[in-house]
Amino acid sequence: MSWSSRLKGIAPFRVMNLLETAQAREAAGHDVIHLEIGEPDFPTPPPVLEAGQAALAHGRTRYTPAGGLPALREAIATHYAEHFGASVAPERILVTPGASGALLLASQLLVESGDRVLMADPTYPCNRHFMSLAGAEVDAVPVDEHSGWQLDASLVARHWQPRTRLAMLASPSNPTGHMLGLDALRELAGSVAERGGHLLVDEIYQGLTYDMPPVSATAVSSDAFVVNSFSKYFGMTGWRLGWLVAPEDAVEPLSRLAQNIFLAASTPAQYAALAAFRPDCREILEGRRRELETRRDALLKGLAALGLAPSLPPQGAFYLWLDISRYSQDSEAFCLSLLEEENVAITPGTDFAVQGGERHVRIAFTTDVARLEEAVARLGRFLQRRQGMA
């Protein structure tokens, strides 16, 4: 069978194969510590769950407008005003089936065959794949601790080409957990605007920050396209709900795309999400953010004792990006061996990086401190054996 040529550049998400292997080991009776998947162990906050149940009980299951429930768009706009000092009209917000729905709309609007897109390397692989499916070529710009693991204004200036149409970044990022401050975002937006391009910012980990306050590109540019989600900070992964903030002149074509691609996001999920902005829910979410910071610090302490802590600790999200080159030049084999020998599941860097992924791994601190400390102890035993074999 011959399939579309569009699939040729779409690599499998290797972490899903690792997860399948880890789950098989669990089924066989092994005690597996899961640090591979980007989903914390917190349940949906009770106010959100109750609002979703009430929506179903009251029959709120019919289509909403393609752009989303008006009350939810208003709530998101108020969120930007109250927390980021950004003036975003509700009409500029389109509610989507997950952040993936927002990325699909943005990619179909902004790029076409032959266009080029600047993106940090490493980055979340689906960001590259959405652009590839739209026909664009992705220029993966290597970043490291010297650039704060981020695409910045100087890198945009250095790598912009005649056919470059779009610069995309994620802040905080997956897999490194690093972010750009407000001044850096402003400089980046200016650099892209000077070149007549578009800026697309993935802010799905916004709110999950530790050493600096959360910021938003909406506060520095009304021309930026901004993707966000109810999955990470708001704890609604399986509800599949996100949004896209767009410039005013892009709203009509994006609405047309939404009408034809997915019609509308889940109605019960949208009613549930209204409760995410309530003060009682915010208190729960902030408590969880503080718990994630405690987990991050515990994991950093344990890894430092092993000589593995990153030189630049992550400021947000719930990931650590670790250099394992002292022990392996094959992150996939490293992760599989760690799982088979010590029942600790982490993610190979090859899922995220075009260059250098074989020398890095991602660890998600998405379980409690006691399990993280046990994972570090198991990792220490594993590394000792590898040193003994060298």
Residue 214: half-sphere exposure toward Cβ, Cα within 13 Å: 25
Half-sphere exposure of 21 (CA within 13 A, CB side): 19
Print burial letters for 249-287: b (CB count within 10 Å at least 16), e (below 16): ebbeebbebbeeebebbbbbbbbbbbbbbeeebbebbee
Amino acid letter for position 272: A
Q: What is the CA radius of gyration of the chain?
A: 21
Per residue in 90-138, pLDDT (tens digit) is: 999 999 999 999 999 999 999 999 999 999 999 999 999 999 999 999 9
Query: Dihedrals φ, ψ of 345, to 5°?
Result: -105, 115
The 8-class DSSP code of residue 386 comes to: H
Domains of the chain: 9-38+281-384 (3.90.1150.10), 46-277 (3.40.640.10)
CB 383 within 8 A of CB 324: no
Residue-wise pLDDT for 347-380, tens only, equals: 999 999 999 999 999 999 999 999 999 999 999 9
> For the chain, how many residues are written?
390
Residue scoring higher pLDDT (6 or 323): 323
| pTM for this entry | 0.95
* Residue 388 pLDDT: 64
| Alpha-carbon 349 to chain mean position | 15
Q: Does the bond joining 122 to the residue before it have cis omega, within 30 degrees of 0?
A: yes
Q: What is the pLDDT of residues 48-79, one digit of tens each?
A: 999 999 999 999 999 999 999 999 999 999 99
